[in-house]
A = this chain, B = another copy of it.
């Protein structure tokens, strides 16, 4: 939930700085949702009602700002999967809902796709802690599915980032081709003998 750098003690910020940081993040969410990766820093500053310098004071680079949004998305995704684990009794349906969540999430947040690509590439990069946590939860989910015999025996959590990355890019491609894509993909994850 904390938006401070991991492993670094949160610096005490002046009250107005805290408010500005929040306004910048809020503005960035809107700007990135609307314009994707080519959202402009000047625009973020304008929406937040601050000078560009303030944006850069809180986030040293556009990339860093995008990553902060990704961090939020990770938290939400982790919460979602945790929710599935104790609310969705059907292990296959739970897996299916993970993929649907991934697809739905792409529409409003394009920086997220870049993060998924990082995971798929195996370079944990920053957000390593969150990536591990998400993978651990997904492994639990898969364990249930394997035990129920509804997925191929050899499917493990570390296979998933690449699958999500692929799905993300198909969703980004536009149109509704991703639905058919997901159908083929999910069918292919079932155990070979049916």
Contact = CB atoms under 8 A, between A and B. Distances in A.
A123 B174 contact: yes
Contact of A166 (B121, B122, B169): B169
A118 to B, nearest CB: 7
Q: Give chain A's interface secondary structure class.
A: helix
Contacts of A126: none
A122 B159 contact: no
A130 interface: no
A122 B165 contact: no
B166 A181 contact: yes
Interface residues of A, number: 34
Contacts of A121: 173-175, 177
Nearest to A180: B159
A162 B177 contact: yes
Contacts of A167: 166
A187 B118 CA distance: 25
Contacts of A178: 162
A127 to B, nearest CB: 15
A188 interface: yes
Interface string A117-161: 110111100000000000000000000000000001001000101
12 contacts: A117-B172, A117-B173, A120-B181, A121-B174, A123-B174, A161-B177, A162-B170, A163-B181, A165-B166, A166-B167, A168-B169, A187-B192
